[in-house]
Amino acid sequence: MLSVFTLGVFATASLISNGERNIFTYSQFKLTSETVLASCECGYSVNSTTDEKHAVFTDLHETDFLHISDLNTPTGWRPQDYKVSPRDARGPYGKSFSIANVIPNPMKNNYDWAGESARGGDAGLQLWVRSKVQTVNVGSAELAGDRQDMLYGSFRVAMKMSRYSGTCGAFFWYSTDTQEIDMEFLSKEFSDDKNTVNYVLQTPESAAMGFDASRTPYFKPLPLRFRPDQAFHEYRFDWTPHKVSFYVDGNWQYDMNQGVPSSPGHLVLNHWSNGDGNWSAGPPELSTIMTISYVKAYFNSSSSDRQIVYQKSCPVVDSSKICRIPTLSATPDNTGPNANDTAHTYFFTQDRGELGNDDHAPNQIVYDSSAVGVRWLSQKATGSLPNTVVTLIATAMYFVILV
């Protein structure tokens, strides 16, 4: 439990510095409206800690794009602005990633999770691919995560793909060109008869093949039971030291046990076209969007600063202070009679408990996005971090349980 009272803070700091866990109870400390409880100090678990197969991660980064109206506020994400020549893009056209193609479209009513959006159409973050070629480049969109220190974790996105053929939409983790985990969607592969997701690990082997991962063992296209351009679905990958597991709507699809990355990196979302008939095809006949509802990342940090914060927050591992990450029980659908329920998924960063004073993201880097319950970048309670995210180097991760 954390308290805003000076006495409470000093008492907590004193006990933690002696290597002991301090939990105030009603008999020790009278709870007031200014007292803040804390949960999840020892991390976030995929599956229950009593489950034979589970993993615990120390950090989180959750983003609710249904309620973000301005990417100029700190969200932990940065729209990208750069060009890739046709030669480097390996296609007839290059790619022109522009900030103007990354457009927030929040719910019109901040307390709704489905219904009317500010700009019309589906609420969420829009990543546009333009139909008109700019000289030799196709207008595209990319969003990169600020956290460069992600080393193993569970990464989830809810999104609705492009309705027009000729684009590639992707959710991926990136460290280097040979250390990358991809989930890629080609809109030319969407139809009433057949729909596909492509799982990819970029490795030294794919580099040797001119970055054509389809010529390596680390490329796996799998069928989907739905059209990804007609509704929101959750796509997820869990990355541990010896395996990458892929999921759709909470259901396991495939494992890759070789070529697993081992360096820290960051998350990326992009939507692009370069006219390559063997991959993205296109450009699309009309400008088209990929819409993001949320991203939820639970991971270990390679940053020694973050590891120290975790050690102070959880000096003795206590399974009662490890929070299980909910598995999606239904598609995050924003249509239908129960849309406000199905589109409203759980966020630790928005959970303040029944009394509004229970913090489920203690000591986490949490960003303000104008969303309900999401706050400005802060380092709460124990430890300290600079106000800006710095370039991080790889160090041994502090804590992961993998059975």
Q: What is the CATH number of the domain that holds 150?
A: 2.60.120.200
Question: Distance (Å, rounded) from C-alpha 309 to C-alpha 366?
Answer: 14
How many structural domains is the chain composed of?
1
Instruction: Give the pLDDT of residue 371.
Output: 40
Q: Is residue 55 part of a domain?
A: no
Question: Distance (Å, rounded) from C-alpha 155 to C-alpha 177?
Answer: 19
Q: 227 lies in which domain range?
A: 60-300
Q: Is residue 326 part of a domain?
A: no
Q: Is residue 114 part of a domain?
A: yes
Tens-binned pLDDT, residue by residue, of the chain (403 aa): 333 322 222 222 223 333 333 332 222 323 333 445 789 999 999 999 888 889 999 999 999 999 999 998 889 999 999 999 999 999 999 999 999 999 999 999 999 999 999 999 999 999 999 999 989 999 999 999 999 999 999 999 999 999 999 999 999 999 999 999 999 999 999 999 999 999 999 999 999 998 889 999 999 999 999 999 999 999 999 999 999 999 999 999 999 999 999 999 999 999 999 999 999 999 999 999 999 999 999 999 999 999 999 999 999 999 999 999 999 988 999 998 999 999 999 999 999 988 788 999 999 987 754 444 333 333 333 333 233 222 222 223 333 433 3
Q: Is residue 368 part of a domain?
A: no
pLDDT digits (tens, 9 = 90+) for 277-311: 999 999 999 999 999 999 999 999 999 999 999 99
Dihedrals phi, psi of 364, to nearest 5 degrees: -95, 155
Structure tokens at 93: 């056209």
Question: Distance (Å, rounded) from C-alpha 36 to C-alpha 357?
Answer: 5
Q: Is residue 220 part of a domain?
A: yes
pLDDT digits (tens, 9 = 90+) for 103-160: 999 999 999 999 999 999 999 999 999 999 989 999 999 999 999 999 999 999 999 9
Q: Is residue 370 part of a domain?
A: no
331 touches 28 (CB < 8 A): no
Q: Is residue 375 part of a domain?
A: no
Question: Distance (Å, rounded) from C-alpha 238 to C-alpha 255?
Answer: 9
C-alpha distances (whole Å) from 357 to each of 3, 6, 200, 320, 352 are 10, 17, 42, 18, 6
Which amino acid is located at 30 in the chain?
K
45 touches 61 (CB < 8 A): no
Q: Is residue 371 part of a domain?
A: no
DSSP state of 206: H
